[in-house]
Structure 1
Amino acid sequence: METVTIRLNPALDLAPFARAYAERGIVQIPQLFEERTAGAIADLLQRGVPWRIVFTTPDDKPVHYSREELQAQGQERWKATIADVTARARQNRGYFYKTYPMIEAYLKGWDPGHPIHQLTEFINSADFLGLGRTVTGVTEITKADAHATFYGPGDFLTRHLDTGDDHERRAAYVLGLTRGWQPDWGGLLLFLNEKQDVSEGYLPRFNALTIFDVKFLHTVTQVSSFAGAGRFSITGWFRDDPGKR
């Protein structure tokens, strides 16, 4: 990654976004970073991350494989896994895409010296957590999860809620990091109403941070076979863990 200081765009005025969130529980903040910073982060995700395949098991538990672990599966076993993931997706269960679990990697010492760890530190900095508190109005936010994600053709995330096992997630966020994404390419963040109609949808716009209340049912549509780029983003949750309330 180009050497940059990761900081919020100093021109950001969070007040109108806080008002919008208070009214609707969903908001998209454009130009989160200055252009050079956003470009450096995007280049890092597109060129320098050791991605892992993430999906759910038959009992709906998440699992991720590194490239080496994936190769160790063998072709036939992997085909069976894909068939199982696809069958459960028809039942609106599960997901399949590439990820780098930033918090886990940081805490376990994966990839020492990798520049993505600078981004992990920023996500839990006073500035970013302060943004979360200001926009959501939840002053009890204590930390943030973070996952780098890469959706290629065929990747998807079926509809779900983001409440968390202990209801510790107070709001979800998605930071788009692909330039020029088109709606026909899929990969759209869609919100569903009680009838399961689409009530609202967002492009994964470059350098835009979408924040939403975890009470909203949502999905990421499958990326199309003809998508002109990968869908890169940072996703996670602003949290208020029970032990720190």
Structure 2
Amino acid sequence: MQYINPELDIEQLGRSFQRDGRVLIRDFFDPAVVQALSAAVDQIDWALTYRDTKGDRVLSGEQLRALTPEQREMLVEGVNTVARNEFQFSFFTESMVAAAKRGDTDLLARFMRWMADEQFMATIRQITGITEINRVYAQATMYTRGNFLVAHDDHVDAEDRRLAYVINLTRKWRPDWGGLLHFTKADGSVTDSYFPHFNSLSLFKVPQSHFVSYVPPFANAERTAITGWLIAA
């Protein structure tokens, strides 16, 4: 099956990427593929990922449902306390890498294996000119009320991350609901913003400073996506 839209203008996308170090590609996938992915993420029993004073944490859906209202308030306050002075994030996640390694056969695990294969990799190499990428990390993500990701550049010493990506699966969204991908300069100025259009691929070089804006209490939907990095092993 042809997962990727065959009508994409790869040369034009490549020129945009070379100019800016990033590109937002509308209608990246075949409609049937993106509809299936969107339906699959809607069925996830999401885990919450965030940081506390000791490092990264994950709470499963079952653990979240067991929290009392008081415990939820303490969790939110702890997240915000760290965010005041340090790198912080708060959003919902499902590891597609773990599912693929377990040998799961559901759609998201199969899609993870497809991303690691030649059709996807070759297309991304064509667009970006970065031929060294040969490994992919992927997770399903959801941002809802109170979620955010503060400014960072995705660089880690342990991995040679060359590209970051976001496959947007949100059918209904508004810019005033937050959840936008913003790119920033050293002085804090926002230089570019990507709206999470359904069936779009956001693709950008690493390192590059960016953040996902806070989703306010009045947001009336969830921003879902598949996100990760393309790595040179």
TM-score range, shorter chain: over 0.9
Contact 1:6 1:122 in 2 (8 A): no
Give deviations 1:20-78, integer Å, cap 9, x for gaps: 111110101111112222112112112x112111111314x322121223356666555
Kindly state the Cα deviation for residue 167 of structure 1 after the two structures are TM-superposed.
Answer: 4.5
1:222 aligns with 2:214: yes
Which one of the candidate residues 9, 34, 51 is aligned to 2:46? Answer: 51
TM-score w.r.t. structure 1 length?
0.88
Residues 57-96 of structure 1: pairs in structure 2 closer than 5 A:
57-59=52-54, 61-71=55-65, 77-96=71-90
Which one of the candidate residues 100, 122, 126 is aligned to 2:94? Answer: 100
TM-score w.r.t. structure 2 length?
0.92
Greater mean deviation of Cα atoms: 11-20 or 61-70 = 61-70
Contact 1:145 1:236 in 2 (8 A): yes
Q: How many angstroms apart in 2 are the aligned matches of 1:28 and 1:237?
A: 15
Match of 1:26 in 2: 22
Q: How many angstroms apart in 1 are the aligned matches of 2:41 and 2:85?
A: 31
Kindly state the Cα deviation for residue 6 of structure 1 after the two structures are TM-superposed.
Answer: 6.7
Match of 1:197 in 2: 189
The alignment of Structure 1 onto Structure 2 pairs a total of residues equal to 233
Identify if the C-alpha distance between structure 1 residues 166 and 113 changes in structure 2 by more than 3 Å, giving closer, same or farther: closer
Greater mean deviation of Cα atoms: 95-104 or 70-79 = 70-79
Kindly state the Cα deviation for residue 190 of structure 1 after the two structures are TM-superposed.
Answer: 0.4
Identify if the C-alpha distance between structure 1 residues 230 and 72 changes in structure 2 by more than 3 Å, giving closer, same or farther: closer
1:14 aligns with 2:10: yes
Greater mean deviation of Cα atoms: 67-76 or 36-45 = 67-76
Identify if the C-alpha distance between structure 1 residues 41 and 138 changes in structure 2 by more than 3 Å, giving closer, same or farther: same
Contact 2:100 2:110 in 1 (8 A): no
Give deviations 1:74-114, integer Å, cap 9, x for gaps: 665554333211111122521111100110232135xx433
Kindly state the Cα deviation for residue 12 of structure 1 after the two structures are TM-superposed.
Answer: 2.0
Structure 2 residue matching 1:195: 3-state secondary structure: coil
Give the unaligned 5+ runs of structure 2.
none
Give the unaligned 5+ runs of structure 1.
none
Q: Identity rate of aligned residues, in percent? A: 33
Greater mean deviation of Cα atoms: 10-19 or 66-75 = 66-75
1:143 aligns with 2:143: no
Structure 2 residue matching 1:163: 3-state secondary structure: coil
Contact 2:93 2:142 in 1 (8 A): yes
Q: How many angstroms apart in 2 are the aligned matches of 1:49 and 1:171?
A: 26
Q: What RMSD, in angstroms, separates the aligned Cα atoms of the two structures?
A: 1.9
Identify if the C-alpha distance between structure 1 residues 98 and 180 changes in structure 2 by more than 3 Å, giving closer, same or farther: same
Structure 2 residue matching 1:145: 3-state secondary structure: strand
